[in-house]
Structure 1
Amino acid sequence: MFDDLDASLAAVLDDTGAPSEVRTADVSFAVPDKDFTPGQVTLNLFLHEVQENRVLRDDAPLQRPLAGGGWESRRAPLRVDCTYLITAWSAMTGGHRVTEEHRLLGSSLLWLSRFPVVPDSFLRGALKTPPQPFPLAATVAQTRESASVGEFWNALGIAPRPAFSLTVTVALQPFTETETFPDLKAVELRSGLLTDPQLRGRVLDPALAAVPGASVHLVEATRTVISGSSGSFGFADVPFGTYTLTVRSAGRPDVTSTVDYDQDAQVHDVILTGP
């Protein structure tokens, strides 16, 4: 994934619309330490921090329509901020080196600032196929100076250099499991009376069609009713609580369902198995 992000950013810098000094510079993702001595003008993008973006954390699943109908649902991906330190390097010496590095650094800053979102046309590898579920947001030059900056350069073993940050937010999917659901074809509203509650519902087959004439037994109350023409059944004068429903229908296996019946949960359908 991170190598694909590297390739995507290299494509941005190599675009024909980029300034010539940016487009012709070599692009490196190596660690810019004391051993980094490029022999030509180079723009270095050092990926030095990868951190979850907790502001964008969302536990709601992602859903997409399927070509043959229905929907696919999968867990929300991890949103991760990938932060690069961008520096410019010249093979010249003295003032010419400084001039060339500053020109390249400034031009790359202005060019990358054009893209608050990395366009899909630049995406490579796993960032392109399958498509990212969210646009790749990019922020430029947002890193604040702090006491740790000196420690950072010391760890690399070189003197501090002019640099700016580039942070790209990508989506990583740790989970491959998906669930599929059929299209919603109808919505049925069934009301209940708070002053005269009733444990009720419908007996349905696997296709959600009504099953009339089924025997519905309320185990704890030792009561039995027969489902009507619409598959409906009901038990009046039942105290709120947890109950067991056993449903029998000719030619089908018996089905037992445990339900929590209370004032706000009076309707409990039972779906049978088998033909």
Structure 2
Amino acid sequence: MFQDLDETLKAMLDDAAAPAELRAADVSFDTPDRDYKPAEATVNLFLHEVTENRSLRDEARVLTRVADGYTSQLPSLRVDCTYLATAWSAQAGGLKAAEEHRLLGLTLQWLSRFPVVADRFLRGSLQTPPQPYPLQAMVAQAKENRSTGDFWTALGIAPRPAFPLTVTVTVEPYDEVVQLPPVHEVHLHSGLIDDPLFRGVVFDHSLVPVAAATVSVDGTGARATSGPDGEFAVPGLEFGTYTLTVRASGRPDEQVAVTYAADHQTQTVVLSGP
């Protein structure tokens, strides 16, 4: 993945519309330490930090419509890949500094054109299969309370002009996909806040309504029997948290914890096992 991101950034800097001097420069992803001395004008993009973008985290499972129903899977990870962009010249003295500053400025100006990396630049696994989200790119936006002094000290070289480049990619670490049946019917149950009624539906593990199931509200003595459509109702119950005991023919008893409130009057009970 990271090598494909490297190739993607290289394609951006080699684009025909990029400044000629930028296209003529070499592009390197090597560590710019004390032994790094390129023999020609070079733009160095050093990948030094990979972190999950927690602001883009989604805890909800992803539902996808397929021909025979739906699939459900855990959400993707959004990962920030941060490069340090520097420019290097093989010349000496003032010519060296002038070339490095000019090349770094062109790199900053060109990459700033792409807050989202265009599809034509994508390479390898970033292209096939397609990324589910566009690749966002941030140029020259340093993180708060982050000093570059320790960074240069760790590399063993004197500080030099640089700017960060952060590209957010999508990572699919989970391959488990749950197949769900299609929706054939939708039943709406209305309730009144000033005249509530505890009600619900009993389903088996394949979401088929279970008739003649006895639903007891533990500790209250209240109970009801589900009808042909699996529905049951228990009048006169106070709002609160309860445990339901469900007894259905040919099945072991099951207990389900539920919360009954004005805005949550209908419960769905799904029995486990066939």
The answer to whether the superposition gives a TM-score over 0.5 is: yes
Which runs of no fewer than 5 residues in structure 1 stay unpaired?
none
Deviates more, 1:134-143 or 1:54-63: 54-63
Q: Summarize the Cα distance change of 1:203–1:112 in structure 2 as closer, same or farther, 3 Å threshold.
A: closer
Give the equivalent residue in structure 1 for 2:5.
5
Give the equivalent residue in structure 2 for 1:244.
245
Give the equivalent residue in structure 2 for 1:117.
116
Q: Measure the CA separation in 2 of the matches of 1:224 and 1:154.
A: 73
- 1:1-275 equivalences in 2 (<5 Å): 1-66=1-66, 68-143=67-142, 148-192=147-191, 200-202=199-201, 204=203, 208=207, 214=212, 216=214, 218=216, 221=221, 225=225, 227-236=226-235, 241-248=242-249, 253-254=250-251, 256-259=253-256, 260=258, 262-264=260-262, 267-268=266-267
Q: Which of the two has higher C-alpha Rg?
A: 1
Q: Measure the CA separation in 1 of the matches of 2:202 and 2:143.
A: 63
SS in 1 for 2:63: strand
Q: Summarize the Cα distance change of 1:51–1:267 in structure 2 as closer, same or farther, 3 Å threshold.
A: closer
Q: Summarize the Cα distance change of 1:146–1:94 in structure 2 as closer, same or farther, 3 Å threshold.
A: farther
- Residue deviations 1:108-164 (CA, integer Å, cap 9, x gap): 111111100111222223322333232211111223798943333233222222222
Does the 8 Å contact 1:140/1:166 carry over to 2?
yes
Q: TM-score, normalised by structure 2?
A: 0.79
Deviates more, 1:105-114 or 1:183-192: 183-192
Q: Measure the CA separation in 2 of the matches of 1:94 and 1:205.
A: 80
User: How far apart are residue 32 of structure 1 and its match?
Assistant: 0.8
Which runs of no fewer than 5 residues in structure 2 stay unpaired?
none
Task: Among all aligned residue pairs of Structure 1 and Structure 2, give the percentage whose two residues are the same amino acid.
Answer: 51
Q: TM-score, normalised by structure 1?
A: 0.79
RMSD of the alignment, in Å?
3.3
User: How far apart are residue 13 of structure 1 and its match?
Assistant: 1.1
User: How far apart are residue 23 of structure 1 and its match?
Assistant: 1.6
- Residue deviations 1:50-108 (CA, integer Å, cap 9, x gap): 23333333323333333x24333322333322221111112222333333222222211
Deviates more, 1:28-37 or 1:235-244: 235-244
Q: Measure the CA separation in 1 of the matches of 2:198 and 2:150.
A: 69
Q: Summarize the Cα distance change of 1:153–1:182 in structure 2 as closer, same or farther, 3 Å threshold.
A: same
Q: Summarize the Cα distance change of 1:255–1:108 in structure 2 as closer, same or farther, 3 Å threshold.
A: same
Q: Measure the CA separation in 2 of the matches of 1:261 and 1:52.
A: 35
Which amino acid counterpart does residue 187 of structure 2 have in structure 1? Answer: E
Q: Measure the CA separation in 1 of the matches of 2:99 and 2:259.
A: 76
Does the 8 Å contact 2:47/2:81 carry over to 1?
yes
